[in-house]
Amino acid sequence: MYQPSPELLKKYADVLVKFALRSGEGVKPWDVIFVQIPECAKPFYLPLQKAILEAGAHGIFEYYPDGVARHFFEQATQEQLTFYPEHYLHGKVDQMTHVISIIAEHDKYELKGVDPQKLAARTQSRREYMKRRTQKELEGKMTWTLGLYWTPAMAEDVGMTLEDYWQQIIKACYLDFEDPIVEWKKTFSSIQTIIDKLNAMKIQTVHVVWDDVDLTLKIGSDRQWLGGSGRNIPSFEVFTSPDYRETNGWIRFNQPLYRYGQKVDGIFLKFEKGEVVEFDAKEGKELLTEIFEIPGAKFLGEFSLTDGRHSHITKCMGETLYDENMGGQFGNTHIAIGRAYEETYVWEVSNLSEDQRKELGFNQSTEHIDIISTTNRTVTAILEDGSEVVIYKDGQFTV
């Protein structure tokens, strides 16, 4: 079975620790990094620990054994499902400077058949933890990043060999270069140029059209476009959080959604005044129905575009982190239902109340679910003076 070399994993760990965290600057001595890593990614444990120690930081590892999640959801009572370990979670937020979460699955469908309401209840019970963590991030006191470690089960699910799967990671993260961090800085600089141009345009509305979409979203002068912050590795997207109350139209998606150990494919959504009023799926509609019962999940939290010239990801990998950054002929478009990214507000947001954030059109939810399409789109921006400018076409930004 293919195994990435120690040298490759060391490069990968260095990208996450010494570059991605602190928004592209890397960690500093005495920083406290919480690392969440499952058992099936064990070969990545020591390289991550080494990178953290070399940086003079402190690592606290949360090591999750494989195969225990289903047992918990099947055996736990409602009280146990929603138990909130306040002292532990609040202490964690107080002490953390950064978080690294490694996505790896020994069984992609471990939770298949588990009641989605149980899964949602568990997520909802962590609402206060996520609120505190987000607040600390908005105050500039914490950053996080996601990385992927591919397993045989993940490769098999999309019909690839493990080696071919890892080649996507290697190319996407520049691990085939002598110094991947140098390449990442070049890419982030290029993406930032696009972001600066978009923000200078003062876009009020965007209209997304093609054979499988006709969607209008309000951006507004109080929003900014972001990207390339190191929050995800890889990350090639340019995104914003629209005013969720002003989303109208419909959209289809050609990429599957994996959530709660299940797969939803062939998704269709129709919005009126910000709310999903009609939806369908060729596969997994039952799960989609359950998701939309979660508070805030029927409203939009994010709109994102990826320029195909930046991304080296060429295949559907069955994991949102990579699929939402897929390149190819037409780049990709994705939206997220659920929680908005409030850092897209152009002014200070950390001191605003929850009601004030909602009044600004930032959707509130414990969920943030990305849904992706790699078909062609033309995106037209309507500016303050009413003029229209095409900003994205044939998988590339045109600004």
288-298 residue pLDDT tens:
998 998 889 99
Is residue 166 domain-shared with residue 70, that is, in the same domain? yes
Which residues form the domain of 260?
183-397
Domain final residue pick, 181, 213, 243: 181
Q: What confidence category does residue 19 fall into, taking pLDDT thresholds of 50, 70 and 90?
A: very high
Q: Which residue has the tokens 């990801």?
A: 313
- H/E stretch holding 171: helix 162-172
The dihedrals phi and psi of 77, each to the nearest 5 degrees, come to -75, 170
- Taking 3-state DSSP, the helix, strand and coil percentages for the chain, each rounded to the nearest 5, stand at 35, 25, 40
- H/E stretch holding 240: strand 237-240
Is residue 208 domain-shared with residue 96, that is, in the same domain? no
Q: What pLDDT does residue 292 have?
A: 93
For 158-208, what is each residue's pLDDT tens digit?
A: 899 999 999 999 999 999 999 999 999 999 999 999 999 999 999 999 999
For 314-345, what is each residue's pLDDT tens digit?
A: 888 888 889 999 888 899 999 999 999 999 99
Is residue 219 domain-shared with residue 83, that is, in the same domain? no
**CB-based contact 177:12 (threshold 8 Å):** no
Instruction: Write down the pTM of the prediction.
Output: 0.89
**Domains held by the chain: number:** 2
Statement: residue 251 has pLDDT above 90: yes
| Nearest residue to 104 via CA among 143, 138, 147 | 147
Structure tokens at 43: 């070969």
| Nearest residue to 44 via CA among 148, 161, 178 | 148
Is residue 92 domain-shared with residue 108, that is, in the same domain? yes
Is residue 315 domain-shared with residue 385, that is, in the same domain? yes
Is residue 173 domain-shared with residue 286, that is, in the same domain? no
Structure tokens at 52: 């953290």
Does 354 map to a domain?
Answer: yes
- CA dihedral (37, 41, 45, 48) positive or negative: negative
Q: How many CB atoms lie within 10 A of CB 172?
A: 23
234: amino acid identity, one letter:
P
Is residue 177 domain-shared with residue 187, that is, in the same domain? no
| Nearest residue to 154 via CA among 136, 169, 138 | 169
- H/E stretch holding 304: strand 300-306
Q: Which residues have C-beta within 8 Å of that of residue 350, sequence separation ≥ 6?
A: 135, 138, 139
CATH number, domain with residue 90: 3.40.1830.10
Does 132 map to a domain?
Answer: yes
Is residue 203 domain-shared with residue 139, that is, in the same domain? no
Q: What confidence category does residue 273 fall into, taking pLDDT thresholds of 50, 70 and 90?
A: very high
- H/E stretch holding 397: strand 396-397
Q: What percent of the chain shows pLDDT beyond 70? A: 100
**CB-based contact 235:229 (threshold 8 Å):** yes
386: amino acid identity, one letter:
G
Is residue 356 domain-shared with residue 268, that is, in the same domain? yes
The angle formed by the CA atoms of residues 119, 122 and 128, to the nearest 5 degrees, is 140
Domain final residue pick, 136, 157, 181: 181
Is residue 218 domain-shared with residue 293, that is, in the same domain? yes
Does 1 map to a domain?
Answer: no
Does 232 map to a domain?
Answer: yes
Is residue 140 domain-shared with residue 245, that is, in the same domain? no
Domain final residue pick, 181, 204, 225: 181
Is residue 381 domain-shared with residue 393, that is, in the same domain? yes
Q: What percent of the chain shows pLDDT beyond 90? A: 81
